[in-house]
Amino acid sequence: MSTKTPATTEHIAIEPVDFVTERSKYLIFSAIAASLLLLAFVFNSPRELWEGSLVILSSPAKLVTDYFELANVGAALLNASLMMFKTLAIIRVNRVKFTGPVMAAIFTVAGFSLFGKNFYNSIPIILGVYAYAKVTKAPFSRYVLPALFGTALGPIVSEITFNLDLPLTLGFILGTLAGVLIGFLLPPLAKHFAHFHQGFSLYNIGFTAGIIGTFFISMLRSFGIKIDTVEIVSSGHNQVFSLILYGLFLVMFLIGLAYNRWNLNGYRRLLQQSGRSMPDFSALFPFGLILINMALLGILSTSYVLLVGGELNGPIIGGIFTVVGFGAAGKHIKNVAPIFLGVFVVGLFNASEIHSTSALLAALFGTTLAPISGYYGSLAGFIAGAFHMAMVLNISYLHAGMNLYNNGFSGGFIAALLAPIFDMFATIRNDRKMPPLKKPPADTVNKVLPPKIDISLD
């Protein structure tokens, strides 16, 4: 086996000044949230939206709970819209700039609000992170990202509140306290665990959340509480949502193209980025180019799902949104394609059918390992995708679906395992390329060597 020499194009900037204002970015993301809101009323009546929203808010919400199936399509879109607006409000109130990771968080929250996150189970975790910021006397703006991504553990809040046969008031109190505690622990743990996978998994909070979720579930199981994973998924939405998704990504592409002066200048350099350690593309490339990249990732991801015969349900659309979001913070079509291919090939021989929701989630969220592909090469990315497909389907038992970022949990382990191995092969390959040291002529050896010294003790 051989891998290419690790990429050295980690931080290549092409335009240090971006003329797109923060207000313009806010309006663009607000327009997407508003579009989801309008679509909610297209799919269902106000009464159905209200009833569906109550079902969503009171559900355990663990993996995999498709809100399309649990409630209705409109209620799921309404939930995603409200969560996206809430995220934008937090960003604006705390005067956080629209960096690449922040844009990734916006789309990730919106996507997971179709299958796991909701207004109730996310707030305690955000409050916990806020409490941590106050205790450490740091501005909350510094911890907005852990607060937003940390809502991956929202199902723990919902599970304790609604699914442990507790009186509602007691369940609410315990669930809220658990969420606050989780939020308080997330920032220091996330910082620590980032070293574990060396930045080769983009979903660092997913790995951290997996550890925390495993701890919480182990505690509950030790008291004899049985918690199992679920799989509630819908089907039959491909025609309408393929039009919606392709339409959204086309609009994003055109807006990006307009901002980039109707050309793709700089995109080749963006494709040279490895993606390691969730780089901020907004500091390296203009906003228009980032929108183009996000749109192309959305088109690629949606096309993959449809080509293998998958269903565009809540979890899958959530996965597509997450891939799109990280198009501003580490992913591009060049470093995600090998991951898709690796998952696909292993999926052909896996117990799960390649078009199943679980296999498609492994492909979409497996792109957390895109930095391996970008740093070590396409072959390494293919291998990472293959290993991820094998592992991710067997790891959710540890946290019983309480960590919505299950693929981030798996990806952290895969990255920690493979990165040192790929480093070893890269080192061996580089050593072979080095010219051998020349042996000095025989007649000069004695001139170089020092005189022999007797060091015997006799």
Question: Is 378 among the domain residues?
Answer: no
Question: Is 187 among the domain residues?
Answer: yes
Question: Is 344 among the domain residues?
Answer: no
On whether the CB atoms of residues 77 and 62 are closer than 8 A, the answer is no
On whether the CB atoms of residues 54 and 87 are closer than 8 A, the answer is no
Question: Is 70 among the domain residues?
Answer: yes
Question: Is 244 among the domain residues?
Answer: yes
Mean pLDDT by 10 residues, the chain (458 residues): 51 58 97 98 98 97 95 99 98 97 98 97 98 98 98 97 95 98 97 93 95 92 86 97 98 97 96 96 96 99 98 98 98 98 93 91 98 97 96 89 94 96 90 60 44 37
Domain span holding position 327: 18-331
Question: Is 342 among the domain residues?
Answer: no
Q: What is the pLDDT of residue 294?
A: 99
On whether the CB atoms of residues 387 and 422 are closer than 8 A, the answer is no
- In this structure, what DSSP letter does residue 308 have? T
On whether the CB atoms of residues 248 and 35 are closer than 8 A, the answer is yes
**Cα–Cα distance measured from residue 137 to residue 79, given in angstroms and rounded to the nearest whole number:** 33
- The three-point CA angle 172-176-177 to 5° equals 120
User: Phi/psi of residue 167, each to 5°?
Assistant: -55, 140
Q: What is the pLDDT of residue 14?
A: 46
Helix axes 287-307 and 333-347, enclosed angle (nearest 10): 20
Q: What is the pLDDT of residue 4?
A: 57
Could you give the number of structural domains in the chain?
1
Q: What is the pLDDT of residue 449?
A: 42
pTM here is 0.91
Q: What is the pLDDT of residue 458?
A: 34
